[in-house]
DNA sequence: CTGAAAGCGCTTACAG
DNA sequence: CTGAAAGCGCTTACAG
């Protein structure tokens, strides 16, 4: 292991001062073209790599950002965080990942640590950024970007999936297929992400001049069980329904199970769209379920990208939306789905 | 934003030299008990936090480790990497995540970067650590730990799931249930992880003095389609089979689909065990499929823990195995599984 | 356009 | 047990 060349070495060999070497290598300040060329050539010959630790120390830029998650190992946080750290890695930025685990005490402890590391910025991942926002006191003034599925004050820097747009797209897809009695089986009330999908769906139905089947969205839970029950309720009602937008894939599959049991064909009789693309990564010839992929990895990437922009001073507050990707599957475009297909 | 106290501030206020302050605060060298107490008290009063950038600069320890993945966003790498970064974050270690994407050129570029950052260690995530091993040249001498599902030379530091143990446990579970004609439907040949499961399974069957049904493991692919075909092949053979260990959940589900179509009940007639716990995180009252959870997050944690030990000089080479967790589901312990249950 | 020098905030021989 | 001083490898006023 040979000792690495320092900038002084480069300067000495190139016959210039350390000051000039620094300027030439960093491309700042006035240096004659020939001097610059000579220094750069020398640096390459010596395989000079600037010591980032020294640079960080003197500039105060650590090239490290914090990633603060409510629950880093959660099903939704994970791809988002990975998208972010992967992007940051490509940009040669390190991350320190901290799981707040809900308690403000831990959060405060973590913020102290991050301050000691002089992080360049902070990415907050989770659905309740307001809480984190509160704790981010004045004396910890680094750029903060929120990656979240819920809406937040317009004064923050936020990146989130466009749940509203997805709801709208779902309605439009079903309408475009010629369906006329479209229901919406959603989950819990007061989940911002779910609410936004309801909104978008409702808006699209209204502008198509089409009432929502079953008299409006049916609220329940996130479970497959609720989808099965909702299916029964729809069939019992006797009301015409030929398409359903479900709040997630579990509900969609529950609906399908009930319909199949009753001999109702999907999509022939009733088309179904889910949400989450839960079966992503399972290799199969075709997608059984029409659904939306929230592209959480992309959300993470965009959030990281934006954080670097804020750090660089070239960004203004507001929400950036990432469009969920519609996955066209057999539950809307056929052929008729069999249970084995969805396994 | 008030200026943070430096160690000099603490020294001055406490009436000692910078040297003494440093020693008192770090607990090294000889300092009288009272002096130490005074310095520590002063530091707390001034809310002193040592500047890690300065410390890193002088000690050369960056408190940053590299995470080099073959495919960071892959289904298996993701939980592993998150487990590692999460553990490291708790220990106040930052990570720079790099996705090698297979090409040695990119890999070399990344290693140069990591050297410039003076990382303390490197975690290599992926199934082909040997390749990375090759590129990790002599002059980049930092501790390296491999987190992988395949075996590697005993001279390396490796953390991996105990695939062999899982194969063994699968056979033992089925034998314990009283099954006597146990087959093994596996995937591709020459996948080290899958091979190890075959080995463990075979060993357990041998020590129970029980031949493998169907004359030995059936090799195919990772797809559900293969499971369906294998099911047909088993039924066509006319040979007695009352239990199957499948190499993954896709295959297990394919087997189930075929059996159900033919009126064969699971687990009553044939019990099935899968692998991967692919349905983890899907909320349901009971687990439909008996399977193994590879605990990849734990593998990542252990690998990170071990890396810190190697960096600290308190570890010796060898493989650490993480035991996959058996998930007991209805496909081995009933009641009879219906397609809707597995959806 | 170029350079001598100060300084970032610590750790650590070295001397007492 | 304690302290004065050097040094880690850069950046950046300041002066020429």
Residue-wise pLDDT for B262-310, tens only, equals 999 999 999 999 999 988 876 667 788 999 999 999 999 999 999 999 9
Chain A contact set for B2 (CB, 8 A): 139
**Chain B CB within 8 Å of residue A28 CB:** no
Give the whole-angstrom CA distance, residue A187 versus residue A189: 7
- More confident position, A151 or B236: B236
CB contact under 8 A, A284 and B223: yes
Residues of chain B with pLDDT > 70, as a percent, come to 91
As a CATH number, domain A60-161+297-324 is 3.40.50.2300
**Chain B CB within 8 Å of residue A192 CB:** no
pLDDT score at A187 = 92
Residue B232 has pLDDT above 90, yes or no: yes
Q: Distance, angstroms, CA A31 to C1' C7?
A: 23
Provide the pLDDT confidence category of residue B26 given band limits of 50, 70 and 90: confident
Chain A contact set for B50 (CB, 8 A): 116
Structure token pair of residue B111: 């290693």
- More confident position, B140 or B99: B99
Asked if strand D comes closer than 7 Å to B31 Cβ, the answer is yes
Model pLDDT for residues B53-91, shown as the tens digit of each residue: 999 999 989 999 999 988 878 888 999 999 999 999 999
Give the whole-angstrom CA distance, residue A88 versus residue A99: 18
Residue B184 has pLDDT above 60, yes or no: yes
Of all residues in chain A, the one with the smallest CA distance to B6 is A116
pLDDT score at B199 = 96
Provide the pLDDT confidence category of residue B152 given band limits of 50, 70 and 90: low
As a CATH number, domain B59-161+296-323 is 3.40.50.2300
User: Smallest CA–CA separation between A70 and chain B, in Å?
Assistant: 12
Mean pLDDT for chain B overall: 88
Domain boundaries, chain A: 7-50, 60-161+297-324, 163-293+326-342
CB contact under 8 A, A92 and B79: no
pLDDT score at B1 = 46
Mean pLDDT value of segment B148-173? 85
pLDDT score at A208 = 97
CA proximity to A250, closest of A80, A126, A125, A75: A75
The class (CATH top level) of A7-50 is: mainly alpha
Alpha-helix runs per DSSP H in B139-264? 163-176, 192-207, 224-237, 249-261
Residues of chain A with pLDDT > 90, as a percent, come to 57
- With a cut of 50, list the residues of chain A below it in pLDDT: 1, 134
Structure token pair of residue A233: 């309720």
**CB-based contact B31:B23 (threshold 8 Å):** yes
As ranges, strand D nucleotides with an atom below 7 A of a protein CB are 1-13
Q: Do domains A7-50 and A60-161+297-324 have the same CATH topology?
A: no
Residues 255-294 of B with CB under 8 A from A: 256-257, 260-261, 278, 281-285
pLDDT score at A195 = 92
**CB-based contact B175:B210 (threshold 8 Å):** yes
Chain B contact set for A57 (CB, 8 A): 53-54, 56-57
Give the whole-angstrom CA distance, residue B183 versus residue B242: 8
pLDDT score at A1 = 46
User: Which sign does the torsion angle of CA B226, A278, A222, B286 carry?
Assistant: positive
CA distances to A340, B166, B243, B257, B258 from B263, rounded to whole Å, are 14, 30, 16, 10, 9
Mean pLDDT value of segment B229-242? 97
Of all residues in chain B, the one with the smallest CA distance to A253 is B343
- Answer whether CATH 3.40.50.2300 is correct for domain A163-293+326-342: yes
Give the whole-angstrom CA distance, residue B193 versus residue B186: 11
Mean pLDDT value of segment B159-168? 95
Chain B contact set for A291 (CB, 8 A): none
User: Which sign does the torsion angle of CA A286, A289, A290, A292 carry?
Assistant: negative
Structure token pair of residue A279: 């079966």
């Amino acid at each position: 292991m040979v000792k690495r060349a320092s900038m002084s070495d480069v300067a000495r060999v190139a016959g210039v001062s350390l000051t000039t070497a620094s300027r030439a290598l960093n491309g700042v300040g006035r240096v004659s073209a020939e001097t610059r060329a000579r220094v750069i050539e020398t640096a390459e010959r010596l395989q000079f790599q600037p010591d980032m630790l020294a640079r960080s120390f003197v500039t105060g830029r650590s090239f490290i950002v914090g990633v603060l998650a409510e629950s880093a190992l959660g099903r939704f946080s994970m791809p988002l965080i990975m998208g972010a750290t992967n992007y940051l890695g490509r940009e040669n930025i390190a991350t320190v990942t901290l799981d707040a685990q809900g308690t403000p005490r831990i959060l405060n402890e973590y913020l102290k640590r991050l301050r000691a590391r002089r992080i360049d910025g902070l990415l907050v991942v989770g659905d309740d950024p307001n809480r984190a926002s509160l704790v981010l006191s004045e004396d910890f003034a680094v750029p903060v970007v929120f990656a979240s599925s819920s809406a937040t004050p317009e004064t923050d820097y936020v990146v989130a999936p466009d749940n509203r747009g997805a709801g709208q797209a779902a309605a439009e897809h079903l309408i475009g297929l010629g369906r006329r009695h479209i229901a919406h089986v959603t989950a819990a009330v007061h989940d911002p992400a779910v609410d936004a999908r309801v909104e978008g769906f409702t808006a699209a139905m209204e502008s198509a001049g089409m009432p929502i089947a079953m008299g409006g969205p049916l609220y329940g839970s996130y479970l497959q069980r609720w989808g099965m029950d909702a299916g029964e309720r729809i069939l019992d009602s006797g009301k015409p329904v030929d398409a359903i937008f479900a709040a997630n894939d579990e509900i969609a599959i529950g609906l399908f199970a009930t319909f199949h049991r009753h001999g109702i064909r999907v999509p022939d009789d009733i088309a179904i769209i889910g949400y989450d693309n839960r079966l992503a990564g399972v290799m199969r010839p075709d997608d059984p379920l029409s659904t939306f992929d929230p592209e959480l990895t992309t959300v993470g990437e965009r959030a990281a990208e934006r954080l670097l922009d804020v750090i660089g001073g070239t960004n203004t507050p507001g929400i950036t939306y990432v469009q969920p990707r519609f996955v066209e599957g057999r539950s809307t475009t056929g052929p008729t789905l069999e249970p084995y297909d969805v396994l």
